[in-house]
Each structure stands twice: as structure tokens, then as C-alpha cells.
Amino acid sequence: MTDFLKSSLNRRAVLQTAAVGAIGISPALRAAVYAGGSDAPEKSEVKIGFIPLTDCASVVMASVLGIDKKYGVKIIPSKEASWAGVRDKLSTGELDFAHVLYGLIYGVHLGVGGAKKDMAVLMTLNRNGQGLTLSKKIADKGATNLEGLVALMKKEPREYTFAQTFPTGTHAMWLYYWLASAGINPFKDVKSIVVPPPQMVANMRVGNMDGFSVGEPWNHRAIIDKIGVSAATSQDVWKDHPEKVLGTTGEFVKKYPNTARAVTAAILEASKWIDASLLNKNKMAETIAEKSYVNTSVDAINQRILGRYQNGMGKTWDDPNHMKFYDGGAVNFPYLSDGMWFLTQHKRWGLLKDHPDYLAVAKQINQIDLYKDAATASKTPEPKELMRTSKLIDGVVWDGKDPKKYADGFKVHA
């Protein structure tokens, strides 16, 4: 019997298990026995792909701290070069799971941004903490924020180039939404290119783009290297937005449900550990800064995970809506409305030609029941509703109730 079972199945629980055996095990007890017996993980070792970004931390720490073993699995973090590579390796089964862009999973499921394949979201890994960075070159001309960018584009008309990390991904959607909120059409008024996250700073240094949308630590790295300025954060676009998810294929979940559940529980516990204290956050920063993970200096990571921001032009501030991995469990629930939002933006920007059945697709992809079992096992609080309401930078409210109307309601679109 594993340590997890020893701590979870006390005498009272065992008796209760026996009592309910004829009619099915209660959810709490069912979660407790996943690590042993017939509900043991089908795979004892899993490979999880990640891109060198701060928000890969919960996957890495679940492995480094040995939390994975508590749930009967061994996580092997696999450093990947690009989101396209993550997509391909997930689809072929070379990776079992991945730290991955929310919108990438939804895009592949519908055959956008990759070959069509049934996909699954097991949990949200983090909220907030991405950035919109403008080059120092145009910042020196007054483009230090969105208003300044609009003014410069009018004053000095030319082709302005902005980079994001994947066509259907989160960074592309933050960039497009941010620009469109000021009347800039990201497909007609500027040029959009795809650059892998770790290559953003190098590409800005040689003048390949005027701005980029990417996750940390690469926005802060651009400031440290004095080549970029922070024009906005992703939480400015959407406070408490969903960001990366733990993704896999629908096929994997069907074939290895216990493994998926165990891995989700382990990463939930690692998420809880990260957000538990300043000491833990600093330990996390030191760990993922290493060459085998993000490969940057600790100071590029450890400030913004604490909400300590600077814009590269002398302004500093404390942001209460910085990157969070757990936040009392509020971060991790795979809300159906979160997944549906990405579909509305894919439709808005012409990536989807027709309206999908938004709710049906979200129910196919987001593994709510599996998540709830993993949450029970890791003692993670759950929300009562499957949808949530948010107001974005343009004042438009998203609640998931009428996605077709929402998607068609934007003045700036493809």
C-alpha cells in the first residue's frame, strides 16, 4: 500500500468502503483508492511536455518535490522547443500530457492550427502573468502603451510587426484583443508572426518585431536586457484569465483514466505548494531557472511571480492580479465558459468559418468529472458553477450564456 493510501484510508474509511461496496464507493473514498488496487494508475511513468515559461512550474515541481509518487506515478518533464512541436508530440503520443496553451487544445480538437484530433483539458495550470511588450525603439518614440502605439502608427505609418506564440493560442488572443480594443485590426492593420517563447527576446533584439505577446519570464527578460518595455499585462486585458492547461488527447483519457486522474491530483498539490508561501515561490523560481527548465536568471522570474512589476521606463507597481497557480483552488477548475471563450475568438478572427456548438465542444474537451475526482484526492476546493463571468478590457462582459451573439458582437473582427 502506498503512503497516499496509508494516510487516506483510516479504519473508519475502510469500514465505510466496505459498507458502500454493494452500491458503489463514495466520491471521497473513490479518490482515496485511486493509487492502489484496480484503480491504480495504468501507467507508472508519464512524459509531460513543457515550454520554457514560468507557468510550467507546477508540472516541474510535482516532479522535483516527489509529489507525483504520492499518487502512484512518476512525471518526466520534457523540455520542448515550440508549441507546434508540443502539438505534434501530443497528437502522436510521444508526449502523454503537456503544459500547453488553452486555445491550442481547442484549435486541434476542431482541426484549426493542426490536424483534427479529439483533445482533453484536465485542469487550468495558472491564471494571469503574461505580457504585451513593445520594443525600446518605438517606446522611445512615445509608444509606451496602447494609446501611444496608436498615436505612433498614425504619425509614422508603415508595416508594424507583432509576434505571438501560436495561431490559436492564448498569447495570440491577448494580443489581438488588446490591439482591437483600440481599434487596431490585428489581421489588417499590422503584421502578425509566430515566434516560440524562448526566442522572443533574441528576435526583438535584432529588430524582427515592434512588439510581442508572450508569457513570463520573457517580458521581464526584455526589460532586464533593455530592449523592450511593458505596455500591458494579460491581466489588464482580462483579470484572472485562464492561461496554460494540462492537456492530453481524448484517446489517452479513455485508455488511461486513472493515470490522468493521478497526474492531475499531483499537479494540483504542486500548485497548492507554490502559492502557499513566499519561501516556496522563491524555491520554485530557483528551480525552474535552471538550464534544464527555463534557462534564465532567477531575477527574471522571481519578481513578477510576487506581483512586483516594472515597465522598463522607471515605473514600478505591485499587481495583486499577478500569476497564480492555485489561489485556494480558484485557478484550476476547467470552467466550460473559459474554453468556450477561445472558440468565440477563433470565430471572431476567422480561424473558424462557422459557429461551432460552443457548449458541446467545451463539454467534450474539459474533463469536469475527472477533475472533480482529482480535486477530492488533493483536497482542492471546487466552485459550484461550471461557468463564470468576467469583464474584459473593452468593458464587454463574457459569461458563456450566448457565445454566438458574443462572437458576432465585436466591431473589430476578421
Give all strands (DSSP E) within 81-144, no chain letters: 97-101, 119-124, 130-135
**Predicted local confidence at residue 39, as pLDDT:** 86
- What mean pLDDT is predicted for residues 318-338? 98
Between CA 291 and CA 122 the distance in angstroms is 28
Average pLDDT, the chain: 92
User: Which residue ranges form the domains of the chain, and what is each CATH number?
Assistant: 3-126+244-307+366-385 (3.40.190.10)
How far is the C-alpha of 37 from the C-alpha of 6, rounded, in Å?
13
Burial (CB count <10 Å: 0-12, 13-18, 19+), residue 336: buried
Sequence-ordered list of residues with C-beta below 8 angstroms from that of 75, at least 6 positions apart, any chain: 46, 48, 59, 62, 63, 68, 263, 266
> By the 8 A CB rule, do 157 and 13 touch?
no
Q: Is the model's pLDDT at 224 over the cut of 90?
A: yes
pLDDT of residue 353: 97
**pLDDT of the residue at 26:** 39
Q: In what order do the strands lie in the sheet with 97-101?
A: 74-79, 45-50, 97-101, 244-249, 119-124
DSSP one-letter string for 64-99 = HTTHHHHTT-EEEEEE-S-HHHHHHHHHHTSSSEEE
Residue labelled with grid coordinates 458574443: 406
Beta-carbon contacts of residue 385 (< 8 Å; ≥ 6 apart): none
Alpha helix segments (H runs only) across 243-385: 250-255, 257-275, 278-288, 336-348, 358-365, 368-377
77-83 mean pLDDT: 98
pLDDT at 9: 35
What gap in Å lies between CA 267 and CA 259, rounded to an integer?
A: 12
Residue range 308-336: mean pLDDT, rounded: 97
Q: Is the peptide bond before 257 cis (omega within 30 degrees of 0)?
A: no
Reported as half-sphere exposure (CB side, CA atoms, 13 A), residue 126 has a value of 28
Supply the pLDDT for residue 1: 41
Whether pLDDT at 22 is above 60: no
Distance separating alpha carbons of residues 77 and 1, to the nearest angstrom:
26
DSSP 238: B
Its pTM stands at 0.91
- At 32, the pLDDT band (50, 70, 90 cuts) reads very low
> In angstroms, how far is CA 301 from the centroid of its own chain?
17
The letter for the amino acid at 199 is Q
131-164, pLDDT tens digit by residue? 999 999 999 999 999 999 999 999 999 999 999 9
Angle, vertex CA 213, rays to CA 109 and CA 122, nearest 5: 35
Residue with cell string 482515496: 32
Percent of the chain at pLDDT > 90 equals 90
Residue 25 has pLDDT above 80, yes or no: no
Placement of cell 522535483 in the chain:
64
Q: Which three cell numbers stand for residue 25?
A: 464507493
Per-residue pLDDT tens digits for 38-61: 689 999 999 999 999 999 999 999
Q: Are 7 and 17 in contact (CB under 8 A)?
A: no
Please tell me the least confidently modeled range out of 15-19, 47-51, 102-106.
15-19
pLDDT per position as a tens digit, 225-273: 999 999 999 999 999 999 999 999 999 999 999 999 999 999 999 999 9
Q: What is residue 168's predicted lDDT score, i.e. its pLDDT?
A: 98
Is the pLDDT at 8 greater than 70, yes or no? no
Residue 29 has pLDDT above 70, yes or no: no
Beta-carbon contacts of residue 341 (< 8 Å; ≥ 6 apart) = 398, 400
CB 312 within 8 A of CB 201: no
- Collect all residues with Cβ–Cβ distance below 8 Å to 361 and sequence separation of at least 6: 106, 109, 110, 339, 340, 343
365 vs 118: CA distance, rounded Å = 8
C-alpha cell at 399: 459569461
* Distance, CA of 139 to CA of 62 (rounded, Å): 40
